[in-house]
Amino acid sequence: VIGEVGSVEEANLTELELAALESDINVADGHARHEPTPSQQRIIDRLPELFEQAASTPASELDREAQAAFLTSLGQASALRDAQALTCYSSSVAMEVFARALDAAGLRRVALIHPTFDNIADILRGCGLSLSAIQEDALADGRADVLDDAEVLFVTTPNNPTGTVLRQERLTFWGEVCAERGMIIALDTSFRGFDPRAQYDHYSVLVEAGVRYVVIEDTGKLWPTLDLKAGFLIFSDDIGLPLRRIYTDILLGVSPLILQLIKDLAEDASAGGLEELYRFVSGNRAILRNELTRAGMRRFPDADSRISVERVLVPPPGTATDLLHELRADGIHVLPCRQFHWADPTEGERFVRVALGRPPADIGKAAAAIAGRLRGRAP
């Protein structure tokens, strides 16, 4: 039995991820569950010292330092100059604050990228907002007519699960379209740390476009920190939403110990940690793709993706839900993609998603099981 409703089709992704936590090989959730690098391990080994440092530094100072270290490591230096930032327990909490603030301000029509991680649609809808789907292709092509009467454009970049990045010229385009229409542009950049193509300075582009913006940055997907993480809710001065008020309805701030850890890990990322991460994820992606290629798979739906998850095509007439059940019998947990396709779930039955933030040996076992199930069924 999965989640409250009991079926794979009706469960949300987090319910499926929870079920996978108990499994032999869990390649379901997108959290980092691999060995820390030697330099990350040295930071973890200093935890008691970090605790003392955090206890003796004013929280607001540490908050600013953690934000600065993280944003600078990912190329977002202008955020510190041009925007305001609120540190949240996680990116979902930042999302909840944003959605409630939209509702409070009477902005209820959101054009949301499709597909994307289901909790974004769930949180927006849960706060009473109405959604229209905007396909990734339409975003890449710059077809502004797809916005209809939306008041907010929400884009996940790089997108989960596809890894698609909104390139600089397209962000400029959409920023200008939103500015012209008096819309807010909102970005979820949780996966940007995996892809240098998503690390151009987004804030300078948004300021240049003259648009009101909200960006949700996230430390939570990058490092194997047992879910010690934060989400940053970053917004333009002229946003016109009660973000601070709703934030303080929910929290005072994030633990200084977590902020200290983020600061140190971000500095490590700047000093070569990011390159190590790129190599690690691309190594795991190669293990999976090589195994699938040997089984006769010739198409990878997201050939250019760099993020820490990978979609695998399920050849018809099979479905993702069928494959998920077969793999469970092998002790392997993946995610079906129907929930990512929040406006058209059956479309997502063509893919499963495999998490790559795992020890390579686990990726090897998952890859062998998936290849075994798909052998001879290649499109």
Cα(79)–Cα(229) distance, integer angstroms: 19
When the beta carbons of 117 and 351 are compared against ligand PLP, the nearer one is 117
Cα(117)–Cα(160) distance, integer angstroms: 6
Which residue minimizes CB distance to ligand PLP? Answer: 92
- The helices-and-strands tally (H runs, E runs) of the chain is 15, 12
Residue 164 contacts ligand PLP per CB under 6 A: no
Report the site for ligand PLP in 1-20 (rule: CB under 6 A). Answer: none
Cα(289)–Cα(49) distance, integer angstroms: 42
Residue 225 contacts ligand PLP per CB under 6 A: no
Count of residues that interact with ligand PLP, criterion CB under 6 A: 12
The angle at the Cα of 161, spanning 156 to 167, to the nearest 5 degrees, equals: 45
Phi and psi, residue 212, nearest 5°: -75, 130
Choose, by CB under 6 A, the member of 40, 76, 160, 162 that binds ligand PLP: 160
Residue 91 contacts ligand PLP per CB under 6 A: yes
Residue 291 contacts ligand PLP per CB under 6 A: no
Cα(374)–Cα(206) distance, integer angstroms: 44
Token pair 């995610």 in the structure block, residue = 335
When the beta carbons of 117 and 179 are compared against ligand PLP, the nearer one is 117
Cα(181)–Cα(350) distance, integer angstroms: 36
Residue 348 contacts ligand PLP per CB under 6 A: no
Q: Respond yes or no on whether the N-terminal peptide bond of residue 224 is cis (omega within 30° of 0).
A: no
Token pair 């698609």 in the structure block, residue = 164
Q: Which stretch binds ligand PLP (CB under 6 A): 84-92, 136-144, 265-273, 324-332?
A: 84-92
Choose, by CB under 6 A, the member of 90, 162, 164, 305 that binds ligand PLP: 90
When the beta carbons of 161 and 273 are compared against ligand PLP, the nearer one is 161
Report, in Å, the least distance between residue 94 CB and ligand PLP. 8
Q: Which stretch binds ligand PLP (CB under 6 A): 78-86, 90-98, 207-215, 285-293?
A: 90-98
Cα(55)–Cα(49) distance, integer angstroms: 10
List of residues contacting ligand PLP (CB under 6 A): 30, 90-92, 117, 119, 156, 160, 188, 190, 220, 229
